[in-house]
Every structure is written in structure tokens, then in C-alpha cells.
Amino acid sequence: MQIARFLFYPIFVLLGSVRRQRLLQVGLAIVVAHILMAFICGPTGNKDDPYGLTRWIPPYNPTKSYPEIPRLAPPSAAHWMGTDHLQRDVFSRVISGGWAPIVVAFSSIAISLTIGSILGWISGFAGGLLDRVLSLSMDAIYSFPSMILAIALVAVMQPGLVPMIMAIAVVYIPTYFRVTRAEVLQIREQTFVEAAHAVGAPWWRVLLRHIAPNTVNAIMAVSSFNIADAILTEAAMSFLGYGLPPPAPDWGFDIQNGQRFLQSGYWWLITFPGLMILSLSLGFGLIGEGISDLVNPKRRRKKVG
Amino acid sequence: MALLEVKGLTVSYPVAVGLSAFISRRFLVAVDRVSFSLPEGRTLALVGESGCGKSSTGLAVLGLLEHVGGEVLFRGKDVLRLRGKALKEFRRRAQIVFQDPYESLNPKMKVRAIVGEPLRIHGIRGDEGRLRRALDLAGLSPPDYFLEKYPHELSGGERQRVAIAAALILDPELLVLDEPVSNLDVSIKAGIMNLLRDLQEELKLSYLFITHDLADSFFLSHEVAVMYLGVTVEQGETEEVLLHPVHPYTKALLSVAPGSGREKVILSGDVPDPLHPPPGCRFHPRCPAAEKRCVEAPPGEVELSPGHSVRCVKAESPREEP
Amino acid sequence: MGGIGKYIVQRVLLTIPMLFILLTAVFLMLRLMPGDPVLAMLGGRNVSPELIEQRRKEWGLDKPLHVQYLNYLAQVVRFDFGKSSRTGRPVLYELRTRLPATLELAFGGIFFAALFGITTGIWAAVRADKTSDHVVRLFHIGSFAIPIFWLGLMFQMVFAVQLDWLPVAKRVSGIYAYTFQPITRFYFLDAILLRDGKLLLDVFKHWILPAVTLGIALTGFLGRMTRAAMLEVLDADYVTTARSKGLAERVVILKHALRNALIPIVTVMGLQFAILMGGAVLTETVFSWPGIAGFLVRSLDARDWNAIQGTIVFIGVFIATVNLIVDILYSIIDPRVRY
């Protein structure tokens, strides 16, 4: 019961605040649209008909070349976003290409959020040598460019969905560690924590009931920005060829393909997938901004006297 | 027998200055050999400016600080050496109310959870009656109106009453009141002060009342200890100390209290850096009556009359020898 | 002065364990990640066991982990990363000759980020909560959200392909490839040293698109910082005092507010070098820019183990050094930085 409340708390807060927040509204609308699209049009798991649902919207399979489709044709009534060099419909690839970034971003952030926050709670709460060593290690990794580290890690493993998730997860652990630890250090000094100690609450109770729940807001705000960032990292990985193996639709990879035809002026190959990445990442960025707007004014409240 | 007997209490804090925390640690002595005793059902006020160590004393008495020396005897047992079950039992019998009710209540918990938490921690079956009684005692009635509220839905005075209810629910014997009314408006303050006085009478509570306001201590306390830079400079019966102050610091504090009718003694300079306390009497750099011998050695404690003691060379021998 | 000296010593002392941890983390991550690096480097399936064994020996991966670790540390200390199997030259040479290109790009990125970020940040702060503030804030969020490689490609498409104003990629035009002998490898400097105006223009034309691309990636960050810092300063008493003296609003903003807001802005700018390097990986790839970040990507593609490890370590050491220098400089400029 307690755990359920803790887990769903962010969602309640989000729903409760949406009504007042324009940025949150727009961001949520964009993100929900993307998620719906990705899961309606993404891979179905059905071997015979892997992108079954996509076929119903534009009548094409995103991974299939059709002899009747012209090569590299500009956008038209039949092919809203044109066609590529393999005689595939770009629109069908664009609407199904969001699956990989969304799955990768959510899974990797879920992993790094869990590990990073738990380490941050413990480190900030325990203090002492453990805290110093952990902070120094996390700072060391944090100071390294996350994009480079993630790309190098995924390249060292075999390209694919799980390696992408793992690489991004590793890279973001220090971010959550730092955010939670900083929050814990601040909350630890608040008097309600001292009050809990004073009535004899055991340390785990103080941590789980008094400190951890009060770090959730900060973690939430960071998470949205991080998901936006993770989507860009996934796109970059797939752009560099470490993403889903072709012919699976993946925006970054499609942009890499389009790059080959850039000098010939086939603009539609890169423009549309790029706009999709931008809008998805922007949606999460707006949510993050909205949450920060919500969280910060409260924190600025000065005590009297 | 005194409920609480504090002997030579010393509190220090490690001072970490940025990166140097990795290399060396220094200590700031916030409370320096403070002694007092608090009989059952009475109130002792610790009075002083902010940073004088009065709050540290309060927290140390409850065994909430590290780097604490001396003895804190609660019913004859040293709190600083309590562990495990005995410590938990002590935590049940001694409670604290903090200064800022905006910070002392967990913003993510409802009043029901805040006030009921001590019961759960101590494994006491949380019957609804006890919860209601605590709220009633703290003057939050009807209890049902308050139980399902979050702290941010309450006023400052109501929040402080919630904190008091949470402190009362375990039927404690000792209450440390850490500036409980300093953050409240004057109109609300009076209500809380009256509540505290009534509660003491009704429940036979003992208070360690920490305040910077001499008027408050006059209202609530039986005895008072005036602190300056970690040291008690004067202590005794409240009326005796406040009506016949001896130490120049007590006099100065009293003179600036509103309606004291005394000639104002404005202290020059700031409270010195506690990391580098001045030699001799700690008050001498600001003392209007300082002499040469004040710099030389810290003054000893002199008992002027039974229970009224002061730490000043002037009390040792009224005039400097030629 | 003694305080500063002490701070510098402490800061340097702290950098050493941090670098050590970073190097260890890089080592562990590259070794302990699931999947056999040798197999991955060789491209997966259909590789003979002999070849795998041979590569394992070549890279020293056949030895126990702690021996590998000590070898690795010894390499790092001597800055000897072995030979690149792709180019046949020492990895350190490759990195040294490519560093100026990356720096030239990075400076450009910082310059444009500062230009766009600080101006829009001031604009937004001065008109806080008006429509233009919201538009600027949206632009700042957008700059976070834009895929930098895609932005580079769009710039190429518009300015190089469609409008044909600028070259698509590389640092200089093809005609210079045989005649131009770089001296410092900072091409702007080289063109000036050679007193070659045409070359300078050519270098500038090649530099502008990647530099702006990289700059935009950092604009949002700086813009938000500037806006926040300006908002704070604009509320401060000395700004109100300046206003009450009847100074023109523009003077108040530029002379009194901005000067004080700049300190926090400049402080964070120095620490954004890591983000800049991350952006450089993609910018260099898109613009075929011969820097170290692009070198890493090509080494990863070519499964060039020595080059991969060497480049990552080099970037780590480089960033740690930059952060160290930046921190020390600020501690001298602004005593408040030291706490």
C-alpha cells in the first residue's frame, strides 16, 4: 500500500498540476500522441506481419520494398513523405520509427533512476567515507561527456536494443545520484527529519518515509529532461549505426540513410524523421520545464524570521 | 530527585571547509561544559542570542547529536550512553517541539500520519482515541477536521499545535521546546504559550524551554540559564535572575527587552567567531565593564545565593586589585 | 593569497583521485560490459577462432584482468596508447594532430552559444513573462531538444546544397589539400601566419556551419542561465538604486545588471566543456571535420581497439584538466567561488 502510493505519487502530482500548466499540457499532449503512435504502428511481435497495424494507416509495411513504389520520389498524395532509395514509403517508416527511441529512453531512464536514486539516498543519508568515495566516483563519470561514453559503450557491445538501453542507463546513473544526494543532504537537515530521529524512528524509516518521498519532485523534473536527452542519444546511436539492425524503422538510422542523398537534394529523407525526433524530445523537455516551474516556487519559500 | 541532570555537557561540530573536508577536520565547540538540573514538573529556560549553543544543548540532551561529551542523566541514567531498547524507551519519554512549524512537519504526510507516527514507531496499537486526545490536548478541535489535512493547508499556529500533539501522544515526561513560538505572530504566540503552561499543569510535564526572548522565559520558566558563546554565564530562579541580574550580559539582554524600563545597554561589536573564541572571559570584547583581568583567565562560577550562580570576575571580587 | 594557493593545491590533489576513478571506470566498463569486445570488434559472426585468439593476444586481452589493468595504467601514465590498427600511426600522434581541429570547433561552439544564449537570455529576463519571454524560453527548450546531427544536416541542405553559399563539409576546400602546409594546425592562425586572405575566407566558410551547429546545442543551457541570473540581479537593490538615479534603462541593464550577472554565467560556461565534446562527436561526423571526436567514431566503426581506448582516456584527461584550469582561474577572479 505504502509502496504503491510512493510509486504513483508522481502521476497524481502530474495529473493534479496539468490543469494549471500550459507547458505541461502541451508537452503531455505531444508525448502521449507519440507514444500512442509508436505502439499502434510499432512492431507487433507477430512474425508474419511484424508491422501489422501500420499497414492500415498508410497501406505499406515500413520494412518492405514495393516494386510499384517509385525510387526516391518527393512527397505526393500517395506518399505523404516521399519514398526512399529502397522503394519504401517514408511516412510508414516515420510513424513506426518512434518505438525504438521511446522503449530505449524509458527503459534506460527507469534503470538509471532506480540505481542512481537508491545510491544517492544511501550515500547522502549515510555520509562518511562511503559518501565521499561514491560521490567522487560518480563525479568522475559525470564529468565525462555522456554522449561519447554511451556511444563507445554501445559500440563495444553488439549493436541493438538492449545494449543501447544498458549504455544509456550506465551513463545517467551519476545524474540521478547527484540529484538525489543533493536533495537528501538538504532534507536531512530539515527539522522534520530531526523530529523523526527524536521520537526514535529507526534509520530506514527516516530514509524511506521522511527523506525519500521528498526527493521525488526533484527526481521527476530531472527525469523528463533526461528522457528527452536519452531520446537524442538513442537517435545519435542509431544515426551512427549502433541502433536496431536494418531494416527496422528507426529515425536516426533513416537520417543516416538520407544523408547519402543529401547532396542530390532529396530533402524529405532526413527532414521528416528529424522533425519527429525533435518533437518527441521537445515534448519531454516541455514536461520537464513545466514540472520545474511547479517545483521551484515552493522551494523558494523563505521561512519567516 | 531531578528528572534531568546535565553535567559538563560539551558539544562540538566538525567544520568541513569545502574541499579541505577530504584532508583535515576541525571542530567548533558550540557548548562548553554546561551543567544544570531540571526537577520534575518544572521549566528551565535556556536563554541567549542565536548561535550561543542553546539549541545544541537541547538537541544534545535528547541524544540527537554526535561529538557530545559530559553526562546527561535522565532519571539517573546517562542518555549519551543509552543504546537499543533503553534508548528507544528514553525517546518515548522525552520529546521535542521545534521552532519552525513549516519545516518540522513532513510536507508529504497528513496530520493523522504525523501525529500517529510516534505510536507506530514504538509499536503502540494506534487506537483512534489516543490520536484524538492528543489533538484535543494541543487545542486542535474538532480533531476530525484536522486529521485528514496536509501541513500546507494549515496556519502557522495550527502547525505548531500539530507538532505539539505529535510530541504529546506518547505521554512524555520531558519536553524540549526549541524556540516554539519564535516564528509565530504575536497574536498566535500568546495562545501557544498559554497552551504550554496549561499542559504542564495538567500533565505534570517538565520543560527545557529554549528561547532568545527573556519575556517568554519570564512567563513560562521557573529557572533560567543565560548562555553566551557556549557557556552559561548566569543561572538561577527566574525571578531572581531577571529582577536582580548580576552578569553584564544578562543586564544588557534585559535592558533591551521591551518595557524593561532600564537604561538600554547597547552591546558593541558582533558575537565573535565561535571557531576562535576570545581568551579569558568570552564576553569581554563586548562587555561594557571589561577589565584587564577579564582577558587573562576565564572566570569561575560563583554562587551568589543558593541556586543563583554567575560567571564573572566582578562577582568573584567586586573590584580590581591595584 | 595563501587561501588561493591552498585552494589550488587542494583542487589539484582532488583531481588526481578523480582521474584515477574515471580511468578505472572506463577500463571496467570497456571490459566488463556483456558481450565479447573482441567478437564485437571483429564484427560478430563468421570469425575464425584463430583470428579471435590472435586479436586477443594483440590487444593484451588474454591476460588476467588485473594484469590488463596495470598495463593499462602504465600506458596511461606514459601517454602511450599504442598504434592505431586503422591508420598504422601511433594513437597519440593521431590525437595530437587532430586536437587543434576539435579546439577550433569547440571555441566556435562556445562563441556562438554565448552570442545566442546571452543575448536571448537578457532579452527574456528584461521582458519577463511577456510573450517574447515565452518565445525565447521555448527556443531555449528547443535547443535542448534538437538532434544536433540533424540540425547540421539541415544546415548543409539549406546553406550548402540549396543556396550554395557555403561548402558542405571538411576544414578547407579541395584545392588547398595539396598546397596548404599547416603550421599550428589551427587553420585560422595558419592562414594569418601565411598571410593568405583567400585561405582565411575559405577556412571561415568551412568553419561557420559546424560552429553554429555546435553553438546552438549549448544555447539553451546558457540562455536559461543568463535569464535566471539576470532576473535575480534585476531585482537587486543596487539595480533599483541605479534606476532611481534616473539612468536610462539600457544603461541600467547593460552596465549594472549584466556585469554582475556575467559571473555565474561564465562560471557554468567553463564547465560545459563535456557537453561540448559530446556534441562535437556528432558535429565532426556530420561535417567530416578531422577532429578527435570524429576520430573516435571512425575508430569505433573500424574496431580499432587501441584508438578507442586511447581516445576515451585522452578526452577524459583533457576534460579533467580543462575543468581544473577553469576552476582555478575562477577562484582567482571571483573569491566567492571558493567555499
Here the ipTM equals 0.86
Check CB contact of C7 with chain B, cutoff 8 Å: yes
pLDDT at B321: 44
**Phi (first) and psi of residue B11, to 5 degrees:** -125, 130
Q: What share of chain C is helix, strand, coil (3-state, %, to 5)?
A: 75, 0, 20
Cross-chain residue pair B23–C13, CB shorter than 8 Å: yes
Judge contact between B44 and B225, C-beta under 8 A: yes
Amino acid making up residue C111: F
Minimal-distance CA residue of chain A relative to C220: A285
Amino acid making up residue B75: R
Minimal-distance CA residue of chain A relative to C34: A157
Domain definitions of chain C by residue range: 91-333
Torsion from C-alpha of A52, A57, A63, A68, nearest 10 degrees: 120
Q: How far, CA to CA in Å, does A18 sit from each of A11, B18, B153, C48, C119?
A: 10, 40, 20, 59, 31
> What are the helix (H) ranges across B39-185?
54-61, 84-93, 111-121, 128-137, 143-147, 156-168
Same domain, A125 and A164: yes
Cross-chain residue pair B91–A200, CB shorter than 8 Å: yes
Check CB contact of B19 with chain C, cutoff 8 Å: yes
Mutant choice from A141, A143, A165, A268 vs C, greatest count of C C-beta within 10 A: A143
pLDDT at A298: 37
Check CB contact of C67 with chain A, cutoff 8 Å: no
Same domain, A49 and A65: yes
C-alpha–C-alpha distance, residues B180 and B210, integer Å? 8
Cross-chain residue pair A199–B91, CB shorter than 8 Å: yes
Same domain, A89 and A106: no
Same domain, A84 and A115: no
Instruction: Pick the range with the lowest mean pLDDT from A161-165, C15-19, C40-44, C271-275.
Output: C40-44
Q: Answer whether residue A240 is part of any domain.
A: no
Same domain, A87 and A119: no
Judge contact between C316 and C304, C-beta under 8 A: no
Alpha carbon B251 to its chain's center: 20
Instruction: Pick the range with the lowest mean pLDDT from A173-177, C27-31, C135-139.
Output: C27-31
Chains near A (3 or more Cβ pairs under 8 Å): B, C
Cross-chain residue pair A198–B95, CB shorter than 8 Å: yes
Residues of C in contact with A263 (CB under 8 A): 161, 168
Task: Please give the full DSSP string across A122-146, using - where no structure is assigned.
Answer: HHHHH-HHHHHHHHHHHHHHHHS-H
Nearest Cα neighbor of B75 from B3, B172, B171 is: B3
Same domain, A207 and A289: no
User: Per-residue confidence of chain A (305 residues) as pLDDT tens digits?
Assistant: 455 555 555 555 555 555 567 778 888 999 999 998 888 887 776 666 667 665 566 677 788 888 888 888 888 877 888 888 888 888 888 888 889 999 999 999 999 999 999 999 999 998 888 898 899 889 888 888 888 889 988 888 777 899 999 999 999 999 999 999 999 998 888 888 888 888 888 888 999 988 998 888 888 878 988 999 999 999 999 999 888 888 888 999 999 988 888 888 888 889 999 999 999 999 999 888 888 777 664 333 332 32
Same domain, A210 and A221: yes
Domain count, chain A: 2
Same domain, A40 and A165: no
Range of the domain at A218: 100-235
Residues of B in contact with C339 (CB under 8 A): 17-18
Same domain, A124 and A22: no
Chains near B (3 or more Cβ pairs under 8 Å): A, C
Higher-confidence residue: A18 or C157? C157
Minimal-distance CA residue of chain C relative to A145: C274
Same domain, A218 and A290: no
Homologous superfamily (CATH) of C91-333 is MetI-like (1.10.3720.10)
Q: How far is A170 from chain C (nearest CA, A)?
A: 9
SS3 B74: strand
Check CB contact of B186 with chain C, cutoff 8 Å: no
Task: Please give the full DSSP string across A25-83, using - where no structure is assigned.
Answer: HHHHHHHHHHHHHHHHHS--S-SSSTTHHHHHSSSS-TT---TTSPTTPPP-SSSTT-B
What are the residues facing B175 on neighbouring strands?
Answer: B95, B207
* Peptide bond between residue A273 and the one before it cis (omega within 30 degrees of 0): no
Q: Which residues of chain B have pLDDT under 70?
A: 1, 16-25, 126, 259-261, 316-322
pLDDT at B201: 92
pLDDT at C267: 66
Q: Taking the CA of residue C157 as centre, how many other CA atoms within 13 Å lie in the half-sphere pointing to its CB?
A: 20
Domain boundary among A195, A217, A235: A235
Contacts with A124 (C-beta within 8 Å, 6 or more apart), sequence order: A131, A180, A181, A182, A183, A184, A185, A188
Q: What integer is the mean pLDDT of C274-279?
A: 85
CATH for A176: 1.10.3720.10
Cross-chain residue pair C14–B20, CB shorter than 8 Å: no
Cβ-based contacts under 8 A for chains B and C = 15
Sheet holding B2-15, edge to edge: B26-39, B2-15, B68-74, B77-78
Mutant choice from B25, B56, B83, B108 vs A, greatest count of A C-beta within 10 A: B108
Cross-chain residue pair C301–A156, CB shorter than 8 Å: no
Judge contact between B209 and B224, C-beta under 8 A: no
Q: Give the sign of the dihedral formed by CA C280, CA C285, CA C286, CA C291.
A: positive
Check CB contact of A200 with chain B, cutoff 8 Å: yes
Domain boundary among A184, A219, A235: A235
Same domain, A215 and A176: yes
Q: Where are the beta strands (DSSP E) in chain A?
A: none
Task: Please give the full DSSP string across C109-132, using - where no structure is assigned.
Answer: HHHHHHHHHHHHHHHHHHTTTSHH
Nearest Cα neighbor of C315 from C271, C278, C260 is: C278
Residues of B in contact with A194 (CB under 8 A): 59, 64, 96, 98, 104
Q: What integer is the mean pLDDT of C258-264?
A: 73
Q: Answer whether residue A212 is part of any domain.
A: yes
Q: Answer whether residue A24 is part of any domain.
A: yes
Residues of C in contact with B18 (CB under 8 A): 7, 10, 338-339
Contacts with B264 (C-beta within 8 Å, 6 or more apart), sequence order: B255, B256
Minimal-distance CA residue of chain A relative to C274: A145
- How long a stretch of residues is chain B? 322
pLDDT at A10: 58
Sheet holding B223-228, edge to edge: B94-97, B174-178, B206-211, B43-47, B223-228, B231-237, B308-310, B302-305
Of C21, C30, C323, the CB nearest to A156: C30
Run of H or E including B33? strand B26-39
Angle at A149 between CA A249 and CA A105, to 5 degrees: 40
**Phi (first) and psi of residue B31, to 5 degrees:** -130, 130
Minimal-distance CA residue of chain A relative to C309: A152
Task: Give yes or no for residue C231 having a pLDDT over 70.
Answer: yes
Residues of B in contact with A196 (CB under 8 A): 106, 117
Check CB contact of A109 with chain C, cutoff 8 Å: no
Q: How far is C224 from chain B (nearest CA, A)?
A: 27
Mutant choice from A22, A30, A144, A277 vs C, greatest count of C C-beta within 10 A: A144
Nearest Cα neighbor of A286 from A34, A7, A95 is: A34
Residue C249, C-alpha cell as written in the block: 534603462
Same domain, A208 and A141: yes
Check CB contact of B20 with chain C, cutoff 8 Å: yes
